[in-house]
Chain A
Amino acid sequence: MTGVSTMKIELTNVTKRYGSITALDDCTVTIPSGSVCGVLGTNGAGKTTLFHLLVGLTTVDDGSISIGGRQVTEGDVSVREHVGYLPERVGFPAELTAREILRTHASIRGIRDGAVVDQTLEMVELDYAADRRVRGFSNGMQGRLGLATAILSRPSVLILDEPTAGLDPTGVRRFYRIVERLVASTDATVLLATHDLANVERLCDRAVVLEGGQVILDAPVEALNSQSAPITTIHAIQPTAPLAAQAIIDELPSARIEDATEEVISICVQTDALVECINLIDDTLDPERYEIQHQDLEDAFVNLIESPKGEPA
């Protein structure tokens, strides 16, 4: 790896208040260097405040933050030399071209190599519109230009704050295709705040879940996934299905009945007991057919948020 040093991010007992509102409450998070971390949470959970603290736009009331072992304080701009940040809502002077905007950013960052601007435009698939004024850019193009400003200095830490909000599905897909390529080509630590959990599952190796300003999960994405259980839905033709379902539950205490009618029963079962459960169903019901529906990350996220104090559902 050339040029980029990877950086670990550490928040220790961080609290941030805005007047009477506590935006972050005693948050402790460690994001290993080089990881791609999804920062999840409902609106107002504290994600943007967390990012503002990381780039020194505001300061903590209690606790400390470090990036690459260096304390982040408000007004200390040196940390931003290593951080690329795409804010939730970016805007650019409408009368300037994409190339002029990137040149301005490059100049402010002290990048003297003019080729970097062209390379970056190519990376975000805006090279064809480099000399067009931003006034005529679609939301998707503006988002990609924002991404270009964030990666221009090839930062060690890349923060993307809900980068696809307001984009149409094609724009979202294109944006994440570019991010996926970036992620594959760098060891930078990436923080991605989004409500698009399918892309978190695809891109991220780690997840931090915030709710009400508190960290309720800081773990590998698999850990979030593992809190979900596959649901086995059984379609049976026998009118005795509910009775049969009860027999299965008696044999397999970890399973629970989600729904039971005369023809269909739904059983929720943990992953490790799935095979045993299917065998029991085959032996007991001989069903016409059955379906296995795996709970996805979105279900797991909602369960986590809705469960008291973020305990697994």
Chain B
Amino acid sequence: MNEQDYHSQSEVPTLTQPTGFADEHQQQLHQQLGSIAAVEYRMAIRSHWLIALTLLFTIFGALFVLFSGARVGPTGIERVLTSIANLAMYLVPIAAMAYGFDAIVGRDESGWLATLLVLPVARWRIVGGIYLGRALVLSIAVAVGFLLTGVLVHLYIGAMVWGTYAWFILATIAVALAFLAIAVAISSVAPTKTYALGLVLLTWMWFILIHDLLALGMIARFELTDTTLAGFVLSNPAGTYRVLALEQLGAGGVGGYASLLTDLGLTRQVLFGSLFGWVFIPLGIASIILGRRRWSR
């Protein structure tokens, strides 16, 4: 190695180098987000997260189809799909959060975050890149897992309505991404991975078990306006997903208090919009918290 080696790169930026051109800025944004996301994606492939998540969704879906008794019971395709949607409402959030709880704190503990933070990249891009990589993995797992479940439904029960089922899968991906974002936000707050795991489990319990019970209790006890009811639904991504999925599957008459909400004006656009809000708000919070996190190294 000689002096030429150290200085052979011709693209070293200087302080006076002009920056801020819109297309250059855009290119840099994509490049930085893409690079960090690619690391997360590769890690998920090589550590078998993608296969594990896909198998999880496929196996649970298959069990529901094969052992739900739908072939012999007085039920049709709607009842089976409703069962799958209910399964997804419990399974997908916990899987998404289990996959996302170490997104920030795990990378901090391993030392990788420290090497990213000292690069010329804004912290929200680090959060965004980590999220995007994991979101891609989770989306593929949900899509493939539930697509295979749909194939089984078609083979064993028949009369599958693929267009409707595609919307259901899309809604399931949306709720998965929302819970992944919540897990990333928790991961940015938690001081250790163990702490983060505990927090995501509590959060899952709140959204899946406690929030619904509270909502039902409020509905039973008080005369609530439509707006309040809609607020209850939209304040819980799992509840939003339940309404969205059941609406897609044409099964609004079942599924807890979702049946009470058909006339609240919660259109598909509003429900999807709400789930996207559940993606962007937690990620925004994670970016702010990452900026204030005190680094141990």
Mark A residues whose CB is within 8 Å of B.
Answer: 1-5, 18, 48, 52, 55, 57-58, 68-70, 74-75, 77-83, 85, 87-96, 100, 104-105, 107-113, 115-116, 119, 122-123, 146, 149, 151, 153-154, 181-182, 185-186
Q: What are 14 contact pairs spanning A and B, CB under 8 A? A: A4-B7, A57-B118, A57-B295, A58-B294, A69-B15, A77-B121, A82-B15, A85-B118, A89-B114, A89-B297, A91-B114, A91-B115, A96-B46, A113-B11
Query: Top 4 closest A-B pairs, CB basis?
Result: A91-B111, A95-B46, A107-B35, A80-B120
Output the least CB separation between A68 and chain B (Å). Answer: 6
- Name the A residues within 8 Å of B42 (CB-CB): 93, 95-96, 100
How many angstroms from the CA of A80 to the CA of B294 in the assembled complex? 19
The chain A residue with its CB closest to the CB of B44 is A95
- With known contacts A91-B112, A185-B2, A186-B7, A154–B31 Cβ distance under 8 A: no
Instruction: Count contacts on B: residues with CB < 8 A to the other chain.
Output: 44
Contact between chains at A93 and B112 (CB < 8 Å): yes
Contact between chains at B38 and A104 (CB < 8 Å): yes
How many angstroms from the CA of A79 to the CA of B43 in the assembled complex? 30
Contact between chains at B120 and A154 (CB < 8 Å): no
B47 interface residue (CB < 8 Å to A): yes
- Name the B residues within 8 Å of A79 (CB-CB): 120
- Name the A residues within 8 Å of B123 (CB-CB): 75
- Name the A residues within 8 Å of B35 (CB-CB): 104, 107-108
Chain B 106-140 per-residue mask, 1 if CB under 8 angstroms from chain A, else 0: 00001110111111111100000000000000000
How many angstroms from the CA of A149 to the CA of B39 in the assembled complex? 15
Contact between chains at B110 and A108 (CB < 8 Å): no
Mark B residues whose CB is within 8 Å of A.
Answer: 1-3, 5-15, 19, 28, 31-32, 34-36, 38-39, 42-43, 46-47, 110-112, 114-123, 291, 294-295, 297
Contact between chains at B15 and A5 (CB < 8 Å): yes
Could you say which of A80, A107, A116 has the most chain B C-beta atoms within 10 Å of its C-beta? A107
- Name the A residues within 8 Å of B111 (CB-CB): 87, 89-92
Contact between chains at A108 and B19 (CB < 8 Å): no
Output the least CB separation between B194 and chain A (Å). Answer: 18
- Name the B residues within 8 Å of A81 (CB-CB): 13, 120
Instruction: With A82-B15, A111-B9 given, name 8 new contacts (CB 8 A).
Output: A57-B117, A87-B114, A89-B114, A91-B115, A93-B39, A93-B112, A108-B35, A154-B6
How many angstroms from the CA of A105 to the CA of B297 in the assembled complex? 19
Contact between chains at A182 and B114 (CB < 8 Å): no
- Name the B residues within 8 Å of A58 (CB-CB): 294-295
The chain A residue with its CB closest to the CB of B108 is A91
- With known contacts A77-B122, A81-B120, A90-B115, A153–B12 Cβ distance under 8 A: yes
Output the least CB separation between B106 and chain A (Å). Answer: 10
Contact between chains at B1 and A122 (CB < 8 Å): yes
- Name the B residues within 8 Å of A83 (CB-CB): 118
Output the least CB separation between A79 and chain B (Å). Answer: 8
- Name the B residues within 8 Å of A96 (CB-CB): 39, 42-43, 46
